[in-house]
Structure formats: structure tokens, C-alpha cells
Chain A
Amino acid sequence: MKTLLRVAAVVAVVALVLAPLRLNGYLLNLLYTTVLYVALAYGWNIISGYAGYFSFGQIAFFGVGAYATGLLVADLNWFWMLAALAGGAIACALAIPLGYVMLRLRGPFFAMGMFGMAQMVRVVVTAIPATGSGSGLFLPPGSSLTGVYYWTLAICLGAIGLTIWIDRSAFGLRLQALREDEQVAGTLGVDVTRAKITAFALSALIPGLLGGGYALFLTYIEPDAAFSSRLDLQSIVMAILGGVGTVWGPLVGGVVMTQISEALWAKFPQIYLMLFGGLLVGLLLALPRGIVPALAGRRRPR
């Protein structure tokens, strides 16, 4: 069984790498969207799934990554992958002081506090004159969807690898301990603040790196696109429906929900929001613990 799964994983990765050779514009677009959502869901899953800090604002780091990349490419003529890498580093560095402040909040306070923080970061970023304020920033054309796709795929695979490592490591155990009871974890010798902030910074690095690719994909960034609450909330929904705090939940939830969402959008654009909302409620009631734990048929291991 285990070798079978490994073989399937290798085949899937090879297929994903070769996909741009065979796929046309629309399908490659759909594949890019899927991989982007899966990667975002993995990023969110670290701080919110493993550490239990439910964030509604990780999109702040996505937007920072997108704008940093946009500025470096448009104004300083950097090569875009280097710029996107810098975007990720900036988002990650920003997460450390922000996390130090915001992670004092808990539960719904942290969730809504992060929502507010994302709005504030958005207002600050767009108030900088160099970002073109509300009217946006044009990127020089020339990048291909294929390049952006490979960038995003690499980050997505990296995020999965990171999650597998977290799930098995002592660091992951520390996060799960503080999720179950922060005080007890602290008493048992876990450096709670350090563990939380590390998880938060990793959860910011992934969307930060993805943001640069997204900026190239759009070739034009404006606040509503870079800090899109739709991207944020839908990736959260995917992680939850897949299974919060599990290794494979974001992958399963992301792949399944992106296809459903795109199909609904293509067939019923007028009532898309309503259908998506209704579906979300229905799925949540049917599988409150998520798809992956339901398939595993038992309580979360460990």
C-alpha cells in the first residue's frame, strides 16, 4: 500500500511537470489555479491547522509578495524569479514583528484581528506612491504562463514537503501541543512564543513567494487583486474541507474544491456565490472533520 502510494505520488509529480507540454491555455490556466490554491491552503494550514491560530489575513503576505515583486521587476528590472524570491523573504521578515504582536490574541480575536491587519497592510501598501496607489502597477510583458506555473508548482511541492516534515518533527509536536493547550505546553517546556512565530513566518513565506508569480500571471496588479479576499477565504475553505491540521487535507480539499468552484463559475455565473456558499455549508455538515479524516475513518493519529 505504501509503495503503491509512493509510486502514485511520483507519477503525479512527473505528470504535473510535463503538463505544460501537452495542455492548452485554458487547461493550463485551470492547473495553475489549482496548484495556487493548494499551495495557499498549505501555507494557511501551518499556523491555523497545526498551531491552531485561525487566521483570516494570510493574504496580507500574498499581497506584499506581489507588490514587492512588481516593484522590483518594473522599477529595478530584476529577473522575476529573483524578485519573487525577494518578495517571499520580505513577507516572511514582515511576519516576525507582526506575529510577535498579533499572536498575543487568541481564537476569534486573532482571526478577526488578522482580517483587520490584512486590510491595514493593504491600505499602507497602496498608500505608497511607487505602487501606483489604487490605480495599480503594470509589469513589463514577456513572462509566460508556463514559467509562472513551474514557479508555483515548485512552491506547492515545497509546501507539501515542509508539511510532511512538520507533521513528523518535534517542531510539529510543539505546535500541536500549543494548539491543544498553550499553557500546559508552556509548562512542559515548549518555548510557545518562538514556536508560534516560526509557524507564522513559515505560513507567511509560502503566500509571499506565491504572490510574485501571481503578479506576473496578471501582468497588472491592483489592491483588490493582490489582497483578494476571495483567494484568501477560498483557500481557507479548501483546507478546512480537506481536513484542518492534516498532511493531505489541503491537497485533497484544494484539488476537489477548485474543480467544483471552476465548474460552478463556468455553468452558473449569476448564482455562483450562492451555490458555493450553500455547497460549503452542506459539505461542512456532512463532513465536519474534513474529507481526509473521514476517509481515514478514525480520529486524527497522534
Chain B
Amino acid sequence: MIALQLAINGILLGGVLALSALGFNIIFGVMRVVNLAHGDFVVLAAVLCAYAFTQFGINPLLLLPLTIVVGFIAGALVHRFLLRRLPREIASAEASSLTLTFGLSYFLAGGGLALFGGRFVSVPFLTGAYQLGPISVPQARLLAFAAALVLSVAFAVFLRSTLLGRAIRATSQHLEGALACGIDVDRVRTLAFAAGTAIACAAGTLVSFLFNVNAQQGVLYTVNAFAVVVIGGLGNYTGAVLGALVLGLTESFSSYLLGSTLAEAAPYFLFILVLLLAPAGLLGKRAA
């Protein structure tokens, strides 16, 4: 029974992890940039939502469209005015994009800390649980899972069936090929970064009523997104869903079985193991 309960908790957690990782994945897939500020967008959105709830009593679900739009604009601006200006031809291009997003991460975490302070906040919203016999399903987690599912499916449909979505997938699969097809790669990159940031902010909105957050916790969410994406295979959008479930279940079981200190190391252990044994991800083909 405990195992079933832990499994349900893990799967529900996996939904939000999958959404957050989707944003991280799309940015890496299209731009080959590991966005170290990803988690900071997640927690900043969460802290903002908690603030709006405690100060003005606004339901975070109502804020969801707003955080998505703000995230989209912020992402577009970051790409246009910062990332795009980095020279691409130098040997340390990878290092400079890591450094830039790292600086951005400090900036966002510091800004959040200055504006909202370092207290842990959360939204006491839907605190009840559904009882199914001996199993309890927390309402907030169920709702977050459902919302994450809807958003992920909507984004998947966008990627599969719209022209813009296809341009994004083409660019992430083969840059030269996309260029040869006349795709405006530069515009696709801006769009991908904006969409990735918007998704991060949407995930943050859902996180606000699941966990206590403060502005300095971004690293945790960046690492989780990275772990999910590595487990599923970088740039592999279906793999990430599996990755999120694996990570959600691991976190749920390890915090019960090992205690919170050792469980902190679980995502790291998992992603290093996957990187070494199956570098292309669990669903990836051998030798990419």
C-alpha cells in the first residue's frame, strides 16, 4: 500500500517535472544552450504567484495565462538582447553561453531575493485530498498534474502540426538542413527561447501550490530539468516524459526510504548513471 501511495505521488510529481523539463529541452534542442537560468524562471514565477495570492488573493490558476505571456516576452528579450549577441564562432562558445545564463541566473535569483526576501512561500490552495480506500490523492498535486498534462499536450500539438512548430523541430534536428529549407533560424531561436521560458514560468505557477519556494532555489529546478532531459535523451521530447516519471518516482521513493539528506543526491546519481550507461537517454538510439 505504501509503495502504491509513493508511486502515485511520484507520478503526480512527474507531471510538473515533465512540463518544466519541456521548456529546458526545447531551448537545448534548438540552440544547444544549457539554460542555467531555467530554474530561476520557475521559482520566480512561483514566488510571484504566492505573492499575488497572499497580498491580493488571486488564484494562481487565473495567473497562468499572464505568467505564460510574461515569460514569453522575457525569454524573447533575453535571446534578442543577450544570447544572440554572443559570438558563435569562437572556441569557447559553449562556455560563454553557460556563463551568460549563469549570470542571468544570479541576476534573477538576486532580483527575486531583493524584491520578495528570502522567506519560503507557498499558496495554501486545494489543501485537501481525495481518499480512494487507503490511498490519498492530494488535490493540489492532481490539479497540477492535469494542468501540466494539458499544457504539454497543447505544446506537443503545436510542435507537430503547425508550420512554426515544424520549423522548431527542423532546426533542432538539423541546422544546415533547416537553413537550406529557407527557415529563418534566427527567428526560430528567439521563438524557442521565448517558448522555453514561457513553459518554465507556467511550471513555476503550478509549483507555487505544490511546494514551499524561495527565490534562491532555482538551482534545484534547473538540476531537475537537466536530469529529466538527460534521462529521456536531450532533444527527445517524448523521452523527457519518461524521464520525468522516472525522476518523480525516484524522488518519491528515495525520500521515503533514504531520508531527505541522501534523497537530495538521488537526481544527481540517476543522471550520472544514465549519462554513463546510456548517453543518448533511455529511449535514445545508440551513438548519436
Chain A positions within 8 Å of B, measured between CB atoms, are 48, 52, 54, 101-102, 104-105, 107-109, 111-113, 115-117, 119-120, 123, 126-127, 134, 179-180, 229, 233, 236-237, 240, 244-245, 270-281, 284-285, 288-289
Contact of B114 with A by CB under 8 A: yes
A284 touches B110 (CB 8 A): no
Instruction: Across the interface, name the chain B residue whose C-beta is closest to A102.
Output: B272
Q: In the complex where A116-B272, A274-B111 touch, is A284 in contact with B98 (Cβ < 8 A)?
A: no
**Interface of A, helix, strand, loop or mixed by DSSP:** helix
B114 touches A284 (CB 8 A): no
Contact of B200 with A by CB under 8 A: no
A108 touches B98 (CB 8 A): yes
Contact of B256 with A by CB under 8 A: no
Task: Give the shortest distance, in Å, between A266 (CB) and chain B (any CB).
Answer: 16
Task: Give the shortest distance, in Å, between A203 (CB) and chain B (any CB).
Answer: 15
Q: How many residues of B contact A (CB 8 A)?
A: 44
Can you list 13 A-B pairs, Cβ within 8 angstroms, ordered by A?
A105-B275, A109-B279, A116-B227, A120-B269, A123-B262, A240-B95, A275-B110, A276-B106, A277-B106, A277-B108, A280-B102, A280-B106, A281-B107
A119 touches B264 (CB 8 A): yes
B34 touches A112 (CB 8 A): yes
Task: Give the shortest distance, in Å, between A150 (CB) and chain B (any CB).
Answer: 32
What CA separation (Å) do A51 and B266 show in the bound complex? 29
Task: Give the shortest distance, in Å, between B189 (CB) and chain A (any CB).
Answer: 17
Contact of B186 with A by CB under 8 A: no
B82 touches A54 (CB 8 A): no
What CA separation (Å) do A207 and B205 show in the bound complex? 40
Task: Give the shortest distance, in Å, between A124 (CB) and chain B (any CB).
Answer: 8
Q: Pick the most buried of B103, B227, B271: most chain A CB atoms within 10 A of its CB.
A: B103
Instruction: Across the interface, name the chain B residue whose C-beta is closest to A273.
Output: B110
Task: Give the shortest distance, in Å, between B113 (CB) and chain A (any CB).
Answer: 6
B86 touches A285 (CB 8 A): yes
Task: Give the shortest distance, in Å, between B149 (CB) and chain A (any CB).
Answer: 27
Within 8 Å CB of A236, what residues of B? Answer: 99
Q: In the complex where A120-B265, A289-B90 touch, is A277 in contact with B96 (Cβ < 8 A)?
A: no
What CA separation (Å) do A66 and B109 show in the bound complex? 28
Instruction: Across the interface, name the chain A residue whose C-beta is closest to B103.
Output: A280
What CA separation (Å) do A102 and B276 show in the bound complex? 8
What CA separation (Å) do A144 and B91 show in the bound complex? 43
Q: In the complex where A119-B265, A274-B114 touch, is A54 in contact with B95 (Cβ < 8 A)?
A: yes
Q: In the complex where A54-B95, A127-B261, A240-B95 touch, is A117 in contact with B268 (Cβ < 8 A)?
A: yes
A274 touches B86 (CB 8 A): no
